[in-house]
């Protein structure tokens, strides 16, 4: 399937009215089709998000959301859909501000975003999304590399992402924003 006509900037209002079942992200009005994830990718997302959910369900009012969920990164609930030119479908997110959770989408920066790399999205995740997540004020961004079985953690400090660590498949790690949550990477990468 080809991308819709790219001769004009797309808005989120255009996107929600697409007849296709394909998923697109919009970055400054340009559409990017998000490929279907592989089973390996989904195992990683499931293992990570389950550990976050188990902890946050008991110890926090924050919520975990797994793709597909649209994140209108630079918008609020009051922003008209035709004014939104940036929306993303991260692999999973944690949102602590209930005001950002709409009936059909998330508005504004999640507290934590996790992207699992694939060959077709790695550059996009490492450069474009990295910059835009930083600019929007995402507090923590994780890039998971299933090939090298690593997790790169970036924490927002002074409005810039700073690397908070690179962790390997045999480690237990803590999110910067949830220091009492211990994530077992052996469990995450065990299904490989």
Q: Which domains, from first to last, does the chain contain?
A: 38-67+90-189 (3.90.1570.10)
More confidently predicted of 115 and 37: 115
What are the backbone angles phi and psi of residue 68, rounded to the nearest 5°?
A: -90, 120
CA dihedral (95, 99, 105, 106) in degrees, to 10, reads -40
Query: Can you give the pLDDT at residue 47?
Result: 95
Query: Can you give the pLDDT at residue 64?
Result: 95
Instruction: Tell me the whole-structure pTM to 2 decimals.
Output: 0.92
Query: Can you give the pLDDT at residue 159?
Result: 95
Q: Could you give the percent of the chain with pLDDT greater than 70?
A: 95
- Contact between 87 and 136 (Cβ < 8 Å): no
> In the predicted model, is pLDDT for residue 51 greater than 50?
yes
CA dihedral (165, 169, 171, 174) in degrees, to 10, reads 50
pLDDT band at 94 (very low <50, low <70, confident <90, very high): very high
- Strongest mean pLDDT among 17-31, 47-61, 87-101: 87-101
Given the DSSP bridges, would you call strands 183-184 and 172-173 parallel, antiparallel or unpaired? antiparallel
Query: Can you give the pLDDT at residue 49?
Result: 94
> In the predicted model, is pLDDT for residue 2 greater than 50?
no
- How far apart, in Å, are the Cα atoms of 173 and each of 31, 51, 165, 186, 190? 34, 11, 9, 11, 15
Query: Can you give the pLDDT at residue 102?
Result: 94
Tell me 145's DSSP state: E
What average pLDDT does range 54-67 have in this prediction?
90
Write out the two tokens for 40: 């390996």
Query: Can you give the pLDDT at residue 79?
Result: 95
What average pLDDT does range 161-187 have in this prediction?
95
Query: Can you give the pLDDT at residue 90?
Result: 96
Query: Can you give the pLDDT at residue 128?
Result: 95
* Mean pLDDT of the chain, nearest integer: 92
Return the closest-CA partner of residue 76 out of 102, 108, 113, 112.
Answer: 108
């Amino acid at each position: 399937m080809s991308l819709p006509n790219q001769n004009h900037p797309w808005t989120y209002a255009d996107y929600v009215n697409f007849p296709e079942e394909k998923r697109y992200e919009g970055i400054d009005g340009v559409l990017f089709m998000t490929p279907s994830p592989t089973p390996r990718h989904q195992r990683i997302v499931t293992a990570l998000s389950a550990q976050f959910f188990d902890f946050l369900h008991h110890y926090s009012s924050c919520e975990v959301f797994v793709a597909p969920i649209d994140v209108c990164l630079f918008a609020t609930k009051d922003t008209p859909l035709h004014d939104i030119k940036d929306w993303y479908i991260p692999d999973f997110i944690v949102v602590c501000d209930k005001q950002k959770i709409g009936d059909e989408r998330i508005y504004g920066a999640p507290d934590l975003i996790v992207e699992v790399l694939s060959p077709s999205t790695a550059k996009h995740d490492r450069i474009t999304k990295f910059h835009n997540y930083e600019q929007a004020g995402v507090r923590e961004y994780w890039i998971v590399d299933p090939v090298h079985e690593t997790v790169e953690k970036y924490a927002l400090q002074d409005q810039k992402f700073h690397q908070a660590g690179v962790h390997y498949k045999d480690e237990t790690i803590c999110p910067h924003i949830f220091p009492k949550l211990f994530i077992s990477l052996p469990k995450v990468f065990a299904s490989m």
